[in-house]
Amino acid sequence: MRILYINDSLAIWGGLERILVEKMNFLADNYNYDVHIVTADQGNHPIPFLLSPKVSYHDLAIQFHQEYKYHGLKRLYIKGKLRRLYIVRLKEYIEEIKPDVISCVRLYLLGSVLKVKGKIPLIIESHTSCNSYKYEVEGTLKRLREKYYLLQTRKANKIVALTEGDASDWKQYNKNVVVIPNVVHLNDTGRFSDCSSKSAIYIGRFSKQKDIDSLFKIWNLVHQQEPEWQLHIFGGYGDQYEKFMYIVKQLESYNIVVHEPIAQIFDEYLKSSMLLLTSLYEPFGLVLPEAMSCGLPVVAFDCPYGPANIITDGKDGYLIKNRNINDFAEKICKLMNSTTLRKDLGSKGIISSQRFRADKVMPMWKLLFTELTNNIL
């Protein structure tokens, strides 16, 4: 079985990139699939996650960002030129390797893929929510562009969503939707947090989606009651990095510490006693089962749609309804006031997180690939 993944790059410390590498490695190492990935914009950037030597990697060296050096009609011309070059090089690569299945993980590349894929079965992986543009995109023209991308998904053989809620949204564009949760690299250190430190952890980009504003408001309430506790933020740079770093400097007395993204994040989970997540929406919420596998209770807004598919409220963490900041702070303080409660929820989280192990999830992908290549679907 030869699988081709299509993405823009593998250059950032992102959840999508981490999951993609984990899946490709498993398919190549455990199923002996002939796995290829082609990118457009990698350039000289290193891949931050360890890619199996059995996975074939190729960058088309398009660098779409070059269009932003120009303005007006010149930008449109360069954009079109780069798009045509991408189509030519992608077609050549597909004709060279002759994949059995193509999986595209970026909607804005879909139009180009459709032009060159021929009769090869095409999967679209929804690593962001179908309706994410309603939270992120401003301006009529940009929203129309996003809608156009969504309409193109009608031509895919299958859309893979991460949750039932997102799958339901996708079915307005394509009825051929299947739910396969993310593969999660769970704690394999043999150690677990004892939940004794006065330390909470947050992991995520400084972006609108992650709603760091609410995190700071919540911590302000918490700090008034539990001033000895620290909040450790491991934040990717994101589009609101400067804004939030300014706010952090104003809150130096609130025991908030910001760190650079790191590869060995499990060491940081093990030093902590709970994980917080304040996103406006989460296609999945990768950090939740990661933290749970380390024995941490988790607290998250019940946003569309990931957290509710991972957390059992009151059993292994807390789901906060209606974006209620006061309730969020109250649940954090409840955990802070009881080591026993933290350990109890954390121990149950270790068990519930195991359903996202690769050996549980990847057979679903194997079945899907087999059905597509055998024309069952």
- Answering whether pTM is above 0.85, one says yes
Answer yes or no: is pLDDT of 247 > 80.
Answer: no
Answer yes or no: is pLDDT of 377 > 70.
Answer: no
Q: How confident is the model at residue 244 (pLDDT cuts 50, 70, 90)?
A: confident
Strands in 199-203's sheet, in edge-to-edge order, are 256-259, 230-234, 199-203, 274-277, 298-301, 317-320
Quote the CA–CA distance of 231 and 201 in Å, as a whole number. 6
Encode pLDDT of 185-239 as tens digits: 999 999 999 999 999 999 998 888 999 899 999 999 999 999 999 999 997 677 7
As annotated, the residues of the chain forming the CATH 3.40.50.2000 domain(s) are 2-183+357-373, 199-356
Instruction: Provide the residue type at 300 as one letter.
Output: A
Question: How much of the chain exceeds pLDDT 70, in percent?
Answer: 99
Q: What is the pLDDT of residue 370?
A: 96
Encode pLDDT of 66-100 as tens digits: 999 999 999 999 999 999 999 999 999 999 999 99
Q: What is the pLDDT of residue 235?
A: 79
Average pLDDT (94-117) is 97
Work out the angle at residue 187's Cα, subtended by the Cα atoms of residues 191 and 305, and round it to the nearest 5 degrees. 135
Q: What is the pLDDT of residue 376?
A: 52
In terms of CATH, what superfamily is 199-356? Glycogen Phosphorylase B; (3.40.50.2000)
Mean pLDDT over the full length of the chain: 94
Q: What is the pLDDT of residue 13?
A: 79
Q: What is the pLDDT of residue 12?
A: 85
Answer yes or no: is pLDDT of 179 > 70.
Answer: yes
Average pLDDT (105-123) is 97
Phi and psi torsions of 368, nearest 5°: -60, -45
Q: How confident is the model at residue 249 (pLDDT cuts 50, 70, 90)?
A: confident
Lowest-pLDDT range, 59-63, 96-100, 103-107, 133-137? 133-137
288: its two tokens: 């939740």
Encode pLDDT of 302-342 as tens digits: 999 999 999 999 999 999 999 999 999 999 999 999 999 99
Asked whether 269 and 296 are in contact (CB, 8 A), the reply is yes
Of 3.30.565.10, 3.40.50.800, 3.40.50.1370, 3.40.50.2000, which CATH number belongs to 2-183+357-373? 3.40.50.2000
Cα 105 from chain centroid (whole Å): 11
Residue 255 DSSP label:
-
Choice between 357 and 135, residue whose per-residue pLDDT is larger? 357
Encode pLDDT of 36-59 as tens digits: 999 999 999 999 899 999 999 999
